[in-house]
Amino acid sequence: MKIKQIHLLLIIVLLCTACQPRNSSQGSSSSDSREVAYIENKGSDTMVNLALAWAERYQELYSEIRVSVTGGGSGTGLASLTNGTVDIANASRSIKTEEIELAEKNGFTPFEQAVARDAIAVIVNPQNPVNELTLHQISQIYLGEITNWQEVGGEDRPIVRLSRETNSGTHVYFLEAVVRMGDKNDTRIFNAETLLLPSSEGIISEVRDNPNAIGYDGLGYVIPEVKTIGISIGEGEPYVQPSAETVSDGSYPISRELFMYLHDEPYGIYKDYLDWILSAEGQSIVTELGFVPVLAGE
């Protein structure tokens, strides 16, 4: 009887062993079989094409790494970082104090790294004869104080204002740096008639099709079918077009850094990935996509 019980026990053990899951490296004698590591990357829509290009190139170099990239806006990416559902958040604005405080409540202090620079281009339809605006005029347009193109040297047409949605880092930056003219005590917001669009491509498409529209977008998204406006910091000052050169020399007044945020100081595969992004190869992709490298001389 005892021998039968032992046999039965052995059968049960063998069945249970057969049902156990195996990872990608188990059951194979191949020297190429390695466990795949994953990096979850989410956030800024301005950065999503750049982040995708980085991820694709990095995976070609290191087949054991998989980098998942999604957009959704800077606010979405940073919220996902603070609640622990992504490894890296992309942001086209600096992290807010309340976002840092939430992260610290969850046990970590976000690590910030600038990975590229970008110009915010103010764009109009090519049929619009207006070629230049001051920062103050752009602020007045988006506050609803200027409502007709005739008031800034154009035709007698109503101005259609376009903006990214409030979750966008580009929206936040443009509100603070342009609409509020950098005044931290200013609490004014976009005019209520401003149309909020969910993507950079949406802004481009609407400006291309609407001769009355004005919008703003990262320089990397600008296409020949729209016209960029020369921007001056004030009356009597030079009007400057957005470009990699004018961002680098500081003459274009609406430019910013683009960031990646990680949990605490980066380590392991996250540090390796970030180091590669900041390398000459990673920064060459920045240039290819119309952004500006953070490394001098790239």
Q: Which domains does the chain have, with CATH numbers?
A: 37-117+258-288 (3.40.190.10), 118-255 (3.40.190.10)
Q: What is the pLDDT of residues 207-216, one digit of tens each?
A: 999 999 999 9
Question: Looking at residue 24, what is its pLDDT?
Answer: 31
Q: Label residue 174 by pLDDT band (50, 70, 90).
A: very high
Is the pLDDT score of 102 beyond 80?
A: yes
Q: Please name which of 203, 202, 215, 206 lies closest in space to residue 142, comparing C-alpha atoms.
A: 215
The CA distance from 194 to 145, in Å, is 12
Q: Which residue has the higher pLDDT, 200 or 16?
A: 200
Question: Alpha carbon of 276 to those of 59, 61, 118, 280: distances in Å?
Answer: 12, 11, 20, 8
Q: Which pLDDT does position 176 carry in this prediction? A: 95
Confidence of residue 220 (pLDDT cuts 50, 70, 90): confident
pLDDT bin (cut points 50, 70, 90) of residue 130 is very high
Q: For residue 114, what pLDDT is reported?
A: 97
pLDDT digits (tens, 9 = 90+) for 19-78: 333 233 333 333 344 689 999 999 999 999 999 999 999 999 999 999 999 999 999 999
Write down the pTM of the prediction: 0.80
pLDDT, residue 163, reads 97
Return d(Cα 89, Cα 40) in angstroms, integer.
Answer: 9
The residues pairing with 132 across neighbouring beta strands, listed in sequence order, are: 230
The 3-class SS string of 93-117 reads CCCCHHHHHHHHHCCCCEEEEEEEE
At residue 34, the pLDDT reads 61
Mean confidence (pLDDT) of the chain: 89
- pLDDT value for 205: 97
User: With contact defined as beta carbons under 8 Å apart, do 66 and 55 qualify?
Assistant: no
> With 50 as the cut, is the pLDDT of residue 124 above it?
yes
